[in-house]
Amino acid sequence: MSSKPKIGLALGSGGARGWCHIGVLRGLDTLGVRPDVIAGTSMGALVGAAWAGDRLDALEDWVRALTPARFVSLMDVRLRSGGLVEARQIEAMLKSLNLAPRIEDLAHPFTAIATDMATGREIWLDEGPTFRAVRASAGIPGVMSPVELDGRWLLDGGLTNPVPVSAARAMGADVVIAVNPNAKPFGRIWQPPEPKHGKPWLATVLPEALHDTLGIDPAAPAKAVTPNYFDVLTAAIDVMTDTIRRARLAGEPPHVQLDAAFTDLTVLELYRGAEAIAEGERMVAAQAEHIREVCLSDW
């Protein structure tokens, strides 16, 4: 007796690039493909939790309304907390979406991936407090402080499983669609942008007290761009996660892999959500025939 396969979605890490997951989910819905289980790392955990709680519309509205000024208001700088920001507003925003406070009470099966700071082990969070689990998974090292949960200090899940195909399979998926927001279309991790006049965007989002520390000069004239703190941090994270992702997916390849093609979107430009969502929709449209064949055929 034939039946439709159980579909799992593995949503990868990527900071602001991870808003593409919203577009992917929209594109899949257009094709008539609805995941049965979802596993997410970092931003993939945030979007995945919203979907699992049937609150994706509310999240998308919040993302599209985010401006550079509103982004600044989310920055709760506290250098002694283990990162530049504590990012408490992530939990506050999730609560505002009216998600179920516990993962096991969400409408659909969901797992968030985090990393144990003490042991370096991958941690799967499929029960317990929803908001704390998502915040733990989305803890970009060097930017966001780690989170204590059940006696463990947890870091970003991208450090151990950037695109959690293994978790989606363990949740019972027959077919896994993997979404990688950090794909590099031209094989380059970082390249200097064109010189620009005016105040650099970092100077608009960070307190003046941090400008000298991070090498930001709001008054500097246009000149050849040299890497600043966030350029170095983003490139380092991209190198690390790309290496880990390649190794993990070589041993556990998905049935469908959707790779983003961002060229200049950094992990912290969360106010560029509309661009990222559009890229997610493009990713699905580009492989629509393959997705239908794999996900909608009888097994």
Tens digits of per-residue pLDDT, 214-246? 556 666 555 556 777 777 877 888 888 888 998
pLDDT in tens, 172-208: 999 999 999 988 776 677 666 665 545 555 555 555 6
Do β-strands 152-156 and 175-180 pair in parallel, antiparallel, or remain unpaired?
unpaired
Return the closest-CA partner of residue 177 out of 43, 286, 38. 38
Place of tokens 């008539």: 32
Q: State residue 83's pLDDT score.
A: 43
In order, the DSSP letters of 68-92 are HHHHHHT--B-GGGTSSB--HHHHH
Report the C-alpha gap between 217 and 219 in whole angstroms.
Answer: 5
Residues in the chain: 299
3-state secondary structure of 112: strand
Torsions phi, psi of 149, nearest 5?
A: -145, 120
Instruction: Calculate the average pLDDT of the chain.
Output: 85
Q: State residue 235's pLDDT score.
A: 82
What mean pLDDT comes out for the span 92-113? 95
What mean pLDDT comes out for the span 256-281? 92
Amino acid at the residue 255: H
Contact between 262 and 8 (Cβ < 8 Å) = no
Question: Taking 60 as the threshold, does the pLDDT of residue 209 lie above it?
Answer: no
Report the C-alpha gap between 65 and 80 in whole angstroms.
Answer: 31
The residues annotated with a catalytic role in the active site are 42, 156
- Between these two residues, 107 and 144, which has the higher pLDDT value? 107
What mean pLDDT comes out for the span 42-55? 97
Q: State residue 203's pLDDT score.
A: 57
Q: State residue 184's pLDDT score.
A: 76
How is residue 82 written in tokens? Answer: 């283990």
Evaluated on CA atoms 87, 90, 93, 95, the torsion sign reads: negative
The beta-strand segments (E) located in 62-184 are: 110-116, 122-125, 147-149, 152-156, 175-180
Letter string b/e over residues 113-143, b meaning 16 or more CB atoms within 10 A of that residue's CB: bbbbbeeeebbbbbeebbbbbbbbbbbbbeb
pLDDT in tens, 6-48: 999 999 999 899 999 999 999 999 999 999 999 999 999 999 9
